Structure 1
Amino acid sequence: MSTEELSKEQQILRLMRKTLGSVVRDATPLGGRPNPLKDTTIQEIKDCFALISDREKELAGQLGFDQAKPYYKDGEQPNSNVLNFVKPSKE
């Protein structure tokens, strides 16, 4: 599978995840009202999110992305230093 095909599949998965999330937000009842979705439908939505996430991880692995590090389109990592702040003791 080429990088271009992977990119297209990643775009499709991202759009599916966003659309499914919007449907869930729109269908979620406010103020303790009963949920219009059946329990089986809610579980199927959760399963869809899990499958999308698993496939996105597989595609990232095929492209060699390290999940622990952020990906930047320009390929450059930001130049920054991490500072640790320690609260001084009251002694």
Structure 2
Amino acid sequence: MSDAELTKEQQILRAMRKTLGSIVKDAAPRDGEPSPLSEATVENIRMCFGLIASREAELAEALGLSRNERPFYSDEEPNAKVLQFSPTSGKKPN
């Protein structure tokens, strides 16, 4: 889904998620160094990510979108094959 197809709320949530992710990445401690963020700040960031994910799920459900969708090429062979099984008569072969 492109940015043009997203609602304003979805665009805001996406920008917030990306910005928070960048902050966490930039503030991540290097080898052996202590984290510059307090435990309270880390917990608040986790809560923000949780709220963003929850609201994105609500919006996706309201729009009838699956949260498990992944991009693919239209000429790409699907990974899964659908198999049709016919019911058996219940008799075991001799």
TM-score, normalised on structure 1?
A: 0.71
SS in 1 for 2:65: coil
Residue 78 of structure 1 pairs with residue 79 of structure 2: no
Matches within 5 A, 1:51-62: 51-62=51-62
- Between Structure 1 and Structure 2, the one with more helix by share is 1
* Larger RCO (CA within 8 A; separation ≥ 6): 1
The TM-score normalised by the length of structure 2 is 0.69
Deviations 1:31-90, CA, capped at 9 Å, x for gaps: 110111110110000000000000000000111102233478xxxx83523379xxxxxx
Are 1:24 and 2:21 an aligned pair? no
**How many aligned positions are there?**
76
Q: Cα distance 1:27–1:12, how it changes in 2: closer, same or farther (>3 A)? A: same
Please report the RMSD computed on the Cα atoms of aligned residues, expressed in angstroms: 2.6
- Structure 2 unpaired stretches of 5+: 82-94
Identity %: 47
Moved over 3 A (4+): 68-72
Q: C-alpha separation between the residues in 2 aligned to 1:42 and 1:83? A: 39
Corresponding position of 2:41: 41
